[in-house]
Structure 1
Amino acid sequence: MPELVSKDLVIVGGGPAGLSAAIYARRSLLDAVTLEREALGGQTILTSEIDNYPGVPHTDGFTLSDAMRAQAEELGAHIVMDPVSSIGLDDKTGRFVVEAASARYDAASVILAAGARPRPAGFEGEERFAGHGVSYCATCDGMFYRDKQVFVVGGGNSAAEEALFLARIASKVTLIVRKDHLRAQTALVRELEENEKVELRLLTSIVSVEGDELPGKITLRDNATGATYVERFEEGSVGIFVLVGRIPETELVSGLVKLDGQGYALTDERMATWTPGLFVAGDARAKPLRQIVTAASDGAVAATSAAAYLGLPVEG
């Protein structure tokens, strides 16, 4: 077992919240490390168009994330690609023990900025065809369906945005909404209604997806009547994009923080949890708006709060 590496702060997650925390931690002269398991930028790098990040109009997720990474590293932030398996608290020392794949960290404070993962819709065949006709990211997989038909499952902002993105690629987009209304912002709903390539099916759910190697048969249910009907396609000619929300990545700290009914961490305005020295920033915490700009703000607040917790001077 590797020896413990002592740190002032361990930041778990390298998305906008984690990278922002890394920047502010460095500016507070904290001895910190940022650990990311997959790709710096997190879910942000999958976003093809970003128009609502102040000062950076008309960009994309990869470009914005790479700029954040470059800024953090230019300031001297230590960023390591290393998945974290556990976060514990040593009752004797009051310090945290963060277990990663290639190292163990003894930390005075921790910021969880691990974000959230896609939530499955739950229809039969979803898991079987995941990555083979069923996708959770239109900007990742949309190009596979150029001039083909796609179904988008969901009624929120993400589903609406992805449906509009897919309408630029696919021949037809059918938005499947289980309720009698969309939860998306009014402007997005208007765009959907005005787009001739988009069909809205309210009070509808996908029951099952079947096929040999790829989906070829989709069974849907009319939620108003309970009746089911089948639509058939040539295998490889149709895609299903599931966008019904996200599951917060809070399992690592589930015993150290309070969670709401959806599993999001409850924090105060300083990003602090009920465990002293443990902070949560970004999409993993309960808050009214999950956007890149709010994640970056969370990270800045969390890092300065960690510095204050450690008795170090902070930016005011």
Structure 2
Amino acid sequence: MKQEENKEHHQCLIIGSGPAGYTAAIYAARADLKPVMYTGMEAGGQLTQTTEVDNFPGYPKGITGPEMMEDFRKQAERFGTAIHFGYISSVDFSRRPFSVVLDEVKMITADTVIIATGATAKWLEIPGEQQYNGFGVSACAVCDGFFFKGVEVAIVGGGDTAAEEATYLAKLCKKVHLLVRRDQFRASKAMISRVLATPNIEIHYNTSTVEILGNGKNVTGVRVLNTSSGLESAINVEGFFVAIGHQPNTGIFNGQLDMNEMGYLITKPGSSKTNIPGIFACGDVQDMHYRQAITAAASGCMAALDAERYLAGLIPSPLILMSL
């Protein structure tokens, strides 16, 4: 009897927070799915590490990332979402109801699961990088490039993301120093051509970033090492962008959900549906192209609507069909 009382089961379980998770919670709660969210170890996701957000509709004067995520959380709670701090340490999606383990201790079951665990930017882990994160250091040119209009910036990376973000920054900034660690790009020929055709992008090949320089408040430069000559030098910049990729937070879903070669969850086109009916994914955990707060929020809406329709029986489960 005691074991039965301790059993926790929910119609809709949301794993992760951020714009995708909170938006999914708002829509799921309004649909009376009584969603329960476990935020993960970083409640609010990557935006809690962002200072100013100026490109999200509805905030004409801008807002800080932490403030915006607090607004999202309050709105989700207003409609009845139960939000808890904690992380899901393992999952079992092989049978229904689905089961997960919270904080390596507590078992929870759910009829539907919405995954919004996001992705984590890869960092160089060099001196000054974390100190000036949000004060000149960024991992998203589209998010923060606006703040560096008319000044010189540096961006590190040699793939398509770095090339694309360098050309984006070149439209805003006086000059862009593209720091490539090897003697050639890894980017596609089309992206390389775009970079080479942009006059205010200066490419530094065989260049390793040693340290982010600053005045205690903001970035003032970057110290680099030419790996061919062995010489160090400093480049005066006011912004430093890291574009060496993101790591989706999908480790606990290995072997259970379909992923691409980079570890992003694969969803069916035009939906949030994964390969397992009843499991939905939204936000950066399944989006390797846009990675914006607004697109994450939109996919969170999709996930909640998909979950609602699934629970209503509008999307029959193959297992149910097999039993008929």
TM-score relative to the length of structure 2: 0.71
What residue number does 1:134 align with?
Answer: 129
Query: For 1:18, what is the secondary structure of its paired residue?
Result: helix
2:84 is equivalent to residue 89 of structure 1: no
Q: Answer whether contact 2:145 2:169 (CA < 8 A) is retained.
A: no
The CA distance in 2 between the partners of 1:240 and 1:85, in whole Å, is 34
What residue number does 2:279 align with?
Answer: 278
Aligned pair partner of 2:45 in 14, 21, 42: 42
Moved more, 245-254 or 173-182: 173-182
Query: For 2:298, what is the secondary structure of its paired residue?
Result: helix
Q: Answer whether contact 2:34 2:80 (CA < 8 A) is retained.
A: no
What residue number does 2:194 align with?
Answer: none
What residue number does 2:249 align with?
Answer: 249
Aligned pair partner of 2:16 in 13, 25, 33: 13
The CA distance in 2 between the partners of 1:246 and 1:95, in whole Å, is 32
2:171 aligned partner, one-letter code: R
Residue 270 to residue 165, structure 1, CA distance change in 2 (3 Å): same
The CA distance in 2 between the partners of 1:270 and 1:164, in whole Å, is 31
2:98 aligned partner, one-letter code: F
Query: For 1:117, what is the secondary structure of its paired residue?
Result: strand
The CA distance in 1 between the partners of 2:26 and 2:166, in whole Å, is 32
Matches of residues 60-139 of structure 1 in structure 2 within 5 Å? Answer: 60=63, 61-91=65-95, 94-101=96-103, 103-120=106-123, 126-127=124-125, 129=126, 132-135=127-130, 138-139=133-134
Q: Answer whether contact 1:19 1:68 (CA < 8 A) is retained.
A: yes
Mark the runs of 5 or more structure 1 residues left unpaired by the alignment: 121-125, 143-149, 211-215, 222-226
Residue 186 to residue 273, structure 1, CA distance change in 2 (3 Å): same
Detail structure 1 runs of 4+ shifted over 4 Å in the superposition: 159-168, 238-241
The CA distance in 1 between the partners of 2:76 and 2:144, in whole Å, is 30
Q: CA RMSD in A?
A: 3.8
Once the two structures are TM-superposed, the CA of residue 271 in structure 1 deviates from its matched residue by 0.3
Aligned pair partner of 1:53 in 27, 34, 56: 56
What residue number does 2:158 align with?
Answer: 178
Q: Answer whether contact 1:133 1:240 (CA < 8 A) is retained.
A: no
**Equivalent pairs: percent with the same residue?**
30
What residue number does 2:293 align with?
Answer: 292
The CA distance in 1 between the partners of 2:131 and 2:283, in whole Å, is 20
What residue number does 1:123 align with?
Answer: none
Aligned pair partner of 1:219 in 216, 219, 225: 225
Query: For 2:52, what is the secondary structure of its paired residue?
Result: coil
The CA distance in 2 between the partners of 1:309 and 1:70, in whole Å, is 26
The CA distance in 1 between the partners of 2:42 and 2:273, in whole Å, is 26
State how many pairs are aligned: 275
Residue 163 to residue 299, structure 1, CA distance change in 2 (3 Å): closer
The CA distance in 2 between the partners of 1:308 and 1:26, in whole Å, is 14
Moved more, 9-18 or 28-37: 28-37
Once the two structures are TM-superposed, the CA of residue 177 in structure 1 deviates from its matched residue by 4.7
Residue 289 to residue 228, structure 1, CA distance change in 2 (3 Å): same
Once the two structures are TM-superposed, the CA of residue 47 in structure 1 deviates from its matched residue by 2.3
Once the two structures are TM-superposed, the CA of residue 9 in structure 1 deviates from its matched residue by 1.3
Query: For 2:172, what is the secondary structure of its paired residue?
Result: helix
Residue 240 to residue 228, structure 1, CA distance change in 2 (3 Å): farther
TM-score relative to the length of structure 1: 0.73
Once the two structures are TM-superposed, the CA of residue 189 in structure 1 deviates from its matched residue by 1.6
Query: For 1:202, what is the secondary structure of its paired residue?
Result: strand
Query: For 1:6, what is the secondary structure of its paired residue?
Result: strand
What residue number does 2:263 align with?
Answer: 263
Query: For 2:109, what is the secondary structure of its paired residue?
Result: strand
Once the two structures are TM-superposed, the CA of residue 6 in structure 1 deviates from its matched residue by 0.5
